[in-house]
Amino acid sequence: FQTNGAIFWPDFWKHVPNNPMFSIFDVAHQEDEFEIETGQILVDKEKTWKGLNLAYFIVSNEDYRHYFFFDKDTFTTAFKALHIQYYQITTY
């Protein structure tokens, strides 16, 4: 957390590989990556404010919102698009 400024926990599902969000935001899809469980996230708002603002923009914008499963993909997609490091827990 001190290094990256964000920690996410995995959900039970993996990303859908053909979701247009990957090409829209120029983010590489990783086969083995799980969606995140947004019931708990740990973020340092000072370090990650740009990613948080892009995630907010995504869920607020009807042009993008339908590509995402609510907020599940918005955080990691926004962080990846802006090259913001985060750590994702590997166990449930």
pLDDT digit string, tens, across residues 50-86:
999 999 998 888 887 777 666 777 899 899 999 999 9
> Quick one: which of 81, 82, 84, 73 has its CA closest to 19?
73
pTM value is 0.87
- The 10 Å CB-count burial string (b at 16+, else e) for 6-41 is bbbbbeeeebeeebebbeebebeeeeeebbbbbeee
| Structure confidence at residue 67 (pLDDT) | 72
Give start and end residues of each alpha helix (H) in the chain: 21-24, 45-60, 62-65, 74-81
21-39 pLDDT tens trace? 888 889 887 778 888 888 8
